Structure 1
Amino acid sequence: MKEQIYSKSPHFIQNWIVSLYNILAYRKRYSKKYIGFLNHYKKNSTLSLEELKNVQKEKYKRFITYVQDKSSYYKTSLSGIESPDDLTNITKLPIVDKEVLRQNIKDVYTIKKSEGGVSKTGGTTGKSLEVVFTFDDIEERFAILDNFRNSFGYKLGKKTAWFSGKSLLSNRDIKKNRFWKTDHFYNVRYYSTFHIHNKYLEYYVRDLIKYAPEYMVGFPSTMYEIAKYGMANNIDFPAGTIKAIFPTAETITDDIRTVLEGYFKTNLYNQYASSEGAPFILECKNKKLHLELQSGVFEVFDDNFNPSQKGRLVITSFNTHGTPLIRYDIGDQIELSDETCTCGNNNPLVKEILGRISDYIYSEEIGKINLGNISNSLKGVKGIVKFQIQQDIVEEIVVLIEKDEKEYTAKYEEIFLKNLRDRVGHKMKIILKYVDEIPVEKSGKFRIVKNSLKDV
């Protein structure tokens, strides 16, 4: 009923519906507890590493004690372990993956769905998982994220361009080349991530210049396509407009960072979390990624589950009291760093967020080729608007390409193929398919790689 009212309303009414929705949502999200959490993280931003580890140990103890009492699944799975609430014993606890969590989800829950906030996650299998958060956890997670963004000048109410998986447009909007809705109360313009096509991109660029937001938040793949279009068509973006870009939900490659910072003439500050409730990894003013030890425990393993500096990430998150995540194999990869940082944040450093475990191409000749290497296949190539590599069998990849007919030539196809060959080797079969449009996922995200291989 609500969706029908919204879809039939004129554009200016839809804008106010979006504003009203946000007003009601933010009232729940930003209570006195939120302010307390925000002040806590601001106050603790300069703790020493030893102090941070002590906070982590204490929060871990409280979290495990709560979970054993409230979750029937963990009450059973942790029952035979000596002092499971002691962080030094964490390696004795079982590792849980998404499928195990999904199969036991009703027993994992500590509260009913009606008693908290529900987040849905799909993942590479396409099977949905409903995670329930307590309202306290929701507020604390937003406080951590806002404390990070606030350090770069962001405040709720400052003019912001937001790119997320919200489906807000009507057919009337598309006919009028209007790909956004605006929350006038909080000064947020939501841009559609489902209409990122070459024929529409000029309208995005022109409106961003006209709207002149101070901050940009959301899916980097969408902002990247807009920036590339602006650069290719010599549409200059005014310097000094954007104060910072905060990407979400997708892996940041060197190319994405270079294009976004170059076109919008600003700095990008990355962060990592997840819809399931992973603890946070946050980038500082020195462009260094820091683990946030106050939000959880981070373990990194190689393919054989031996502790490693680089590999799969297993997390225990302190802000998941409704659906506890304890030693959860989240399906992402990171590389740790032994360096230190001078920014004042004493949390340990992460060298790189490598992305989804499935975000790679596998070649029997070369091995695993990561997302960053794949995205660099465009070096020296003009006329490819967007590409996606799909791998369903080891011996073959299918490359979908959206091309600009005016720029893309046989010469650039040859360069692109050579770049791919340099990365995947000479035995791999490469099939190029030229398409009018490569669709985004149902969430609004775009995936450069779609790999359905298992256990390679």
Structure 2
Amino acid sequence: MGNLRENIYNKSPHFIQNLIVSLYNILAYRKRYSGKYNEFIKHYYKNKDLTLDELKKIQTTKYRDFINYAIENSEYYNKTLNQIESPESIDNIRELPIIDKETLRNNIQDVYTIPKNTGIISKTGGTTGKSLEVVYTEDDVKERFAILDTFRNNFGYKLGKKTAWFSGKNLLNSKNINKNRFWKTDYIYNVRYYSTFHIHSKYLKYYLGNLIKYKPLYMVGFPSTMYEVAKYGLANNIDFPINTIKAIFPTAETITDEIREVLENYFKTNLYNQYASSEGAPFIIECINKNLHLELQSGVFEVLDENNTPSNKGRLVATAFNTHGTPLIRYDIGDQIELKEGTCNCGNNNPLVKEVLGRISDFIYSEEMGKINLGNVSNCLKGVKGIVKFQIQQDSIQHLLILIEKDENEYTSKYENIFLQNLRERVGEIIQIKIEYIEEIPVEKSGKFRLIKNNIKNKILI
């Protein structure tokens, strides 16, 4: 929303805010589910039972077309891939250069194949603290939602069925908080959006009470937030009604065994995971048998060790077919996966994944707001230019230290203020914030970068 629209929304009464949310969704869904969306849905539904060989043939064809498109339309890939013999052949994929996040960020203008104002922009905060502005074509977005909807449809979900959504939307004003009302409802599409910015022990009873009263059929969103609600219910012996929720679909964060166990046991349902990324990574989806499958029709998955040699366990380097606006070719996402031998009898013949080893979700804590998860912290970069990387360190409940690597050519006091405003929306006004600008934020001994370093977890009771 622009500033004017945000001001109108914030000053509106509760029922008008609900209406604005519904109107926003009507416009968004009209774009998302029009045009080629139905073709994509039919394609993925028809291809659900293909053999592995048939899936690989489709993958090979889509790879060829995608590489040729990138060479023809992207200045960056025209320079880098034209030097390689037959780059469009999937057999030669290891001859193509690997692109990491920093390389993509530094060359993003040349990577784009379309003007930003003709595409759909995804402003990714990024869990490593690096900001990216990815541009999709309209068909990219429609195909990605078709894949996601095909996955969820396997478990009965359809748009319009009553859903509780825990996302990064900040939809509350002070009146809502004073009334202990931490949600907004789209009554047209039957979606209730619960705030993920106010996960505090003093508020959790209102979340859970409303969730029980609302009786959603599905839960979608940040698993760390649902996890806190479930833990509160368990700790206070508040039983969740049986046969209410048909499935839980987590987004944006890594699912640990503990999170899965708590969510499934408390809400008395099954959790079905899927992996992608806001940059546009190809999909990994979970089936009815709780096995994870690569979706070969969405891209090429390379699992590489530290020597860039194919391995069963290692970092994921992906080529994503539905990123025509900002092609991702041999893109080092920064996550790790482990492949699994064998097949599954669910009917999906795509290769199996034993585990997605991505970054374990972390959080910072504010006495005023409660736990602020990794997904919400990473979104502090939205609307901000010139921050190359940032890290939040918390050594006490009263203080946060923010380390920032900045681009002197882009970063100004204006963007510092936007960043601080975004952060304050998440942590509240009481906690003290100190910003320190440094040349380089050190990585961990493992070589990984951590966006959040919380050193007081053992002191936090929620």
After TM superposition, the score normalised by the length of structure 2 is 0.80
**Matched residues, percent identical?**
69
When structure 1 is superposed on structure 2, of 66-75 and 302-311 the one drifting more is 302-311
Distance between the aligned counterparts of 1:218 and 1:386, measured in 2? 16
Q: 1:256 aligns with which of 256, 259, 278?
A: 259
Tell me the equivalent position of 2:444. Answer: 453
Tell me the equivalent position of 1:354. Answer: 357
Distance between the aligned counterparts of 1:262 and 1:61, measured in 2? 45
Distance between the aligned counterparts of 1:139 and 1:124, measured in 2? 25
Q: Deviations over 1:283-322 (max 9, x none)?
A: 0000000000000000011123221111110000000000
Q: 1:218 aligns with which of 213, 217, 221?
A: 221
Q: 1:172 aligns with which of 172, 175, 179?
A: 175
Distance between the aligned counterparts of 2:304 and 2:426, measured in 1? 30
Distance between the aligned counterparts of 2:204 and 2:111, measured in 1? 44
Contact 1:220/1:250 (CA < 8 Å) preserved in 2? yes
Tell me the equivalent position of 1:106. Answer: 109
Please give the secondary structure, in 2, of the residue aligned with 1:277: coil
Distance between the aligned counterparts of 2:44 and 2:98, measured in 1? 29
Please give the secondary structure, in 1, of the residue aligned with 2:346: coil
Please give the secondary structure, in 1, of the residue aligned with 2:164: strand
User: Residue type of the partner of 1:206?
Assistant: G
Distance between the aligned counterparts of 2:122 and 2:210, measured in 1? 31
Distance between the aligned counterparts of 2:117 and 2:373, measured in 1? 39
Tell me the CA shift for residue 435 of structure 1.
6.7
User: Residue type of the partner of 1:237?
Assistant: F
User: Residue type of the partner of 1:164?
Assistant: S
Contact 2:285/2:292 (CA < 8 Å) preserved in 1? yes
Q: Deviations over 1:400-438 (max 9, x none)?
A: 7xxxxxxxxxxxxxxxxxxxxxxxxxxxxxxx8567999
Q: 2:118 aligns with which of 107, 111, 115?
A: 115
Tell me the equivalent position of 2:246. Answer: 243
> Structure 1 residues 438, 233: closer, same or farther in 2, change over 3 A?
farther
Please give the secondary structure, in 1, of the residue aligned with 2:357: strand
Contact 2:249/2:271 (CA < 8 Å) preserved in 1? yes
Tell me the CA shift for residue 35 of structure 1.
0.8
Contact 2:162/2:216 (CA < 8 Å) preserved in 1? yes
Tell me the equivalent position of 1:367. Answer: none
Contact 1:399/1:433 (CA < 8 Å) preserved in 2? no
Please give the secondary structure, in 2, of the residue aligned with 1:275: coil
Distance between the aligned counterparts of 1:262 and 1:249, measured in 2? 21
Tell me the CA shift for residue 126 of structure 1.
2.5
Tell me the equivalent position of 1:324. Answer: 327
**Alignment of structure 1 residues 65-80 onto 2, 5 Å:** 65-80=68-83
Tell me the equivalent position of 1:403. Answer: none
Question: May I ask how many residue pairs the two structures share in their alignment?
Answer: 388
Q: Deviations over 1:117-176 (max 9, x none)?
A: 101122244231100000001000000000000010000000000011001000000000
Tell me the CA shift for residue 387 of structure 1.
11
User: Residue type of the partner of 2:62?
Assistant: K
> Structure 1 residues 118, 444: closer, same or farther in 2, change over 3 A?
farther
Tell me the equivalent position of 2:147. Answer: 144
When structure 1 is superposed on structure 2, of 305-314 and 288-297 the one drifting more is 305-314
User: Residue type of the partner of 2:141?
Assistant: I
- Structure 1 gaps of 5+ residues are 360-370, 376-384, 390-397, 401-431
Q: 1:90 aligns with which of 79, 88, 93?
A: 93
Distance between the aligned counterparts of 1:329 and 1:245, measured in 2? 29
Q: 1:344 aligns with which of 347, 359, 367?
A: 347
- Structure 2 gaps of 5+ residues are 364-369, 375-391, 403-421, 428-440, 448-462
Tell me the CA shift for residue 340 of structure 1.
0.9
> Structure 1 residues 55, 262: closer, same or farther in 2, change over 3 A?
same
Q: 2:302 aligns with which of 280, 299, 309?
A: 299
Tell me the equivalent position of 2:316. Answer: 313
> Structure 1 residues 124, 265: closer, same or farther in 2, change over 3 A?
closer
Contact 2:337/2:353 (CA < 8 Å) preserved in 1? yes
Query: Do residues 197 (structure 1) and 188 (structure 2) align?
Result: no
Tell me the CA shift for residue 455 of structure 1.
5.9
Distance between the aligned counterparts of 1:444 and 1:300, measured in 2? 35
Please give the secondary structure, in 2, of the residue aligned with 1:199: coil
Distance between the aligned counterparts of 1:24 and 1:335, measured in 2? 39
> Structure 1 residues 451, 196: closer, same or farther in 2, change over 3 A?
farther
User: Residue type of the partner of 1:65?
Assistant: N
Contact 2:197/2:372 (CA < 8 Å) preserved in 1? no
Distance between the aligned counterparts of 2:161 and 2:401, measured in 1? 33
Tell me the CA shift for residue 451 of structure 1.
8.9
Q: Deviations over 1:17-44 (max 9, x none)?
A: 0000000110111014101100110000
Q: 1:162 aligns with which of 157, 162, 165?
A: 165
Query: Do residues 334 (structure 1) and 337 (structure 2) align?
Result: yes
Tell me the equivalent position of 1:414. Answer: none
> Structure 1 residues 212, 353: closer, same or farther in 2, change over 3 A?
same
Please give the secondary structure, in 1, of the residue aligned with 2:355: strand
> Relative contact order (alpha carbons < 8 A, sep ≥ 6): 1 or 2 greater?
2
Distance between the aligned counterparts of 2:149 and 2:401, measured in 1? 33
Contact 1:388/1:399 (CA < 8 Å) preserved in 2? no
Structure 1 residue runs of 4 or more that deviate by more than 4 Å after TM superposition: 385-389, 432-439, 441-445
Distance between the aligned counterparts of 2:347 and 2:426, measured in 1? 36
Query: Do residues 282 (structure 1) and 273 (structure 2) align?
Result: no
Please give the secondary structure, in 1, of the residue aligned with 2:329: strand
Contact 1:132/1:323 (CA < 8 Å) preserved in 2? yes
Tell me the equivalent position of 2:58. Answer: 55
